[in-house]
Amino acid sequence: MKLRILIGSILLSLPVMLAAQRLDTAKIDQALGRPGQKTGDVYRLGFPRTDLHVSVAGVEVRPGLALGSWAAFSGSDNDAAVMGDLVLLEHEVTPVMKKLRSAGFDITAIHNHVLNETPRIIYMHYLGHGKSAELAKSLRAALAESNTPLDEQAPPAPSGEPPAFVKAVEETLGTKGRFAGGVLSFGIARSGAITDHGMTLTGAQGVGEAINFQEAGPGKVATTGDFVLTAEEVNAAISTLQAHDIQVTALHSHMLTEQPRLFFMHFWSVGSTESVAAGIKAALSHVAVK
């Protein structure tokens, strides 16, 4: 009888226990003022800098190409982690950083992603641990120190038939991308596990090869993003990109305690769709991807 009561008690408490192990994404949405997207156990929200008008060598950068702040939540309501990347103007860096640090967030990197852009853009990577709702509220307070649009934004209008460059790039890379807001995006997972603070990270947490394309004139595309590399892969990728006239614009870390140690290589190029896509494909051949 006692065993039956014990089993019954466990079964009754099981839904509560399982709920405690999950993120209540509605609370995160409420705190940050917008919905996100669940990918496996990771809940990711985007904050595109639609307020900015950034150009590189005469090419106006669409928000989806290189101006997307983001936050990726994992864990449970009471024991959550959030990591991400914020797109900031130079004068926004210090107040946003102070707000994050006052809430106990770690700042894991501050740097450029491209060169010669106007206005100058700085990228701030961060990591926080705690209760998910409190993390979300603290992140919103930090974002409020910048001009990042915080009201929920309408989704982009359906773009109809994708432009010709989309099919050409996908065929060259041999994989499907996501086309939205005029930008074709690829997230290509690395092989092998990547961990940080005991967490096994996924592509939604920024450890996949992130490669973006947008049109830059008839028959031409602009590309940027970041290759996620081990030390042994770095210089082979640099030489290959340079051989295809793709500029390497930054090489640095995004995290502090990841295993294995990773290097993030950012790049920029404008050229014919065929030559740019071929250069990216050639560089990917030096990376251990799935």
**What's the pTM?**
0.90
pLDDT digits (tens, 9 = 90+) for 144-155: 999 999 997 776
What integer pLDDT is reported at residue 158 of this predicted model? 65
The architecture CATH gives domain 23-152:
2-Layer Sandwich (3.30)
Domain with CATH 3.90.1150 in the chain: 161-290
| pLDDT of amino acid 197 | 86
- Give strand pairing partners of 42: 39
CA-to-CA distance for 122 and 93, rounded, in angstroms? 7
Q: For the purposes of burial, counting CB atoms within 10 Å of the CB of 102, is it exposed (0-12), middle (13-18) or buried (19 or more)?
A: exposed
pLDDT tens for 4-49 read 554 455 445 434 444 446 899 999 999 999 999 999 999 999 999 9
**pLDDT given at position 153:** 74
Q: Residue 260: is the preceding peptide bond cis (ω within 30°)?
A: yes
pLDDT of 4: 57
Report the b/e string of 110-126 with b at 16+ CB within 10 A: eeebbeebeeebbbbbb
Distance, CA of 254 to CA of 43 (rounded, Å): 19
| Sequence-distant (≥ 6) Cβ neighbours of residue 192 within 8 angstroms | 260, 288
pLDDT tens-place string over residues 91-101:
999 999 999 99
Which one is predicted more confidently, 57 or 71?
Answer: 71
Q: Is the pLDDT of residue 59 over 50?
A: yes
Beta bridge partners of 250: 266
Q: What are the start and end residues of each CATH 3.30.70 domain in the chain?
A: 23-152
The CATH class for the domain spanning 161-290 reads alpha beta
